[in-house]
A and B are shown apart, each in its own frame.
Chain A
Amino acid sequence: MKFRYRRYAIMPSLDFPDGALYRPEVPLRVIGLDGSEILSALVDTGADVTLLPRSTQNAIGGSIDEAATSRIAGIGGREIEVMSGDVTLALECAGETLEWIARVRFIPDESSSDAGAILGHAGCLQFFRATFDGHAQDIELLPAPDFPGSLKRE
């Protein structure tokens, strides 16, 4: 599955003189007991875990493991406590759907900073071969041989 990078208009700067920011984001369907919703998720090879907004968990009826809290941190070092849960994730592209069950971390919406959802190693990238083409501005995600989910074709 190939996805085009998302393009955002930003203030022009030395790094982005044309005022265009490209990000490897993919439309991710998050499925729970009560329904599903689609988030534009940043594919981040530097993220150890997969992060979703807490309000998504509420909206879809995602399971929460109250006993499984953990701490995460980014640049700057500020740590936040997050809860874990299991949801079904799905990527859809050109008539194909990849679906798998993943353990994810739910972060408070106000902590989501500049990315609403992040696909990191645990829960996502561990199951894929990912190719980032910054020149063509697209990302290809192919399921690895041990992909734990299913591939459906229309």
Chain B
Amino acid sequence: MAEELKVAVDRRANGAILYTKGYINNVGGEEIANRAYELMDQGLKTLLLNLRDTKIVNSIGISILIEIIEKMMEKEGIIAFCCLTPVILKTFHIMGLANYAKIFDNEESAVKELGLS
């Protein structure tokens, strides 16, 4: 009963927005990582992950998101998140992810602050 995660990418002038849909587990986390690393290899330094269609994350999936953040930090870029459910936001704080990535309530404010319009 594998829960497939879908990732859609919206390229912008200064970066990209990744839209996730589904469960972020180990497989879902790797799918996000693959897409993010492709974009980073192309030189993009600002990535916004919009999790509006993700309702469940697990600790393994979040550990992979932390790896993506670490890799982007090495490149002196920015990873940000928006549209988190309250429980995912709480989980991100517990896991420490919120200390290393910007988190926005909505996409509009994220796009404005990150210069992704």
Do A and B belong to a common assembly?
Answer: no
Q: Which A residues are within 8 Å of any B CB, using their own CB?
A: none
